[in-house]
Amino acid sequence: MDAASRVPAAWPALIGRRIFIYGFVHGFLSAIFLSNAGFSTGYESVAIANSLAATGKFANPFAVLPTGLTAHCAPLYPALMGLVLRIHDSRFFLATVMTVLNALLFGILLSLLPMLGERLFNSRKIGTRAAWIAILLPAFRIEPESESVALAAVLAWFCFVSAGTRRTVLCGVLGGIAVLLSPAAAPLIGVWLLGLVFLRRRNGRHVLACSLIIFVMCFPWCMRNLRELGSFTLRDNFSLELQVHNNDLAQPAFADNLQAVRTLHPNLNVREAERLRDSGEVAYSRKKRSEALTWIASHTRRFAYLTSVRLILFWFPDRKELPFAPVVWVLSVLAIPAVFSAFRTGPGMLGLLALSLLAYSPVYGLVASDFRYSQPVLWGLLLFSSETIERWRLRQITGQHSRYLAASEDSVTERTKTTDMLSV
């Protein structure tokens, strides 16, 4: 085989490496210059990481006062930050390591998109274009103290592996990591696995084994919460967030809901933190759930309004989220025709991908709407928007080709007429 025939075969790997490198640079610079976050104890995950480093206990997530052992956050990301702090107890060191790690994960996420495009859309070009859109435009807000980018990379890898290989153990491990990063990933994973069985891309034994691995990975943490807190759960903050974001002060966008947060959330309100500490986290969560359900039952129209607007904001972020919101708005609009086409053409991998992405969002219609919650599924939005661009490009090429053929036919006809006239 000569060199000329070997070069095209090397292009995918070369493109993947370039995408990874440029993705890493984009993620690193975005984390430094476009992120408004930090590593203060005002962030619950960072506060837990500090507690892990200092005492070895997964505890004290709130800034105003110590409240004891907790399951307020999912365990994996705070544990990772706690490990970094155990190596060197410095906020600057933590910020540096987590920024580099998130930039690496962002590069990995983007380098997966061409392979996802080939496996799900039968076009590597669609995934490559999606990756370059994310590199050239500020679509992702890289916040190193948040698990969003890590979760996005794990979910993309999970979908890629499970859609095309029989690596059951790897699928289960990736699913378990995703759930331990954020239990909100469970609906997406569940819909995806069931859809693979329905489409006969995987058999029931594969899905059962994958689900069992996920359960085994999560079981020790749930048992810890049962033993220490009295509740067999992965994370117990849902009732709190439900009440904080559904009340007389509540507004749909997180940035507009600060008055309710300052009044009702134990991270900013000493009285609420004392209530939590005195009653225990599980009992406090039950009280919050009762308060939230009571308010929802008596304010159904207001709750329906808040929920519907928050669901819209999940895909069309608040305009205050600059410079990210305009980019994501355009991507969401571009993705709509491709999503409708995926559902209209009948059962298939594209319809399953769209349904799985949609399954991730309902929980964020019930609680806070913030741009960081959309990040774990933004890669899917990029793929669908790239699919719409590709269809438009092909239509343009087809149209130009048709016009060229028509012009050629007219030219041939004209030449024939001229020849006939000359012969006469």
Mean pLDDT of the chain: 89
- The ranges of the chain with pLDDT < 70 are 1-15, 36-38, 40-41, 165, 399-424
Say if residues 107 and 24 touch (Cβ distance below 8 Å). yes
Reading the block at residue 349, the tokens are: 């991998």
pLDDT tens-digit series, residues 257-274 = 889 999 999 999 999 999
326 contact partners, CB below 8 Å, separation of at least 6: none
Reading the block at residue 422, the tokens are: 């000359």
> In whole angstroms, what is the distance from residue 127 CA to residue 314 CA?
23
pTM: 0.90
Residue 423's pLDDT is 59
> In whole angstroms, what is the distance from residue 270 CA to residue 347 CA?
52
pLDDT tens-digit series, residues 203-258 = 889 899 999 999 999 999 999 999 999 999 999 999 999 999 999 999 998 888 88
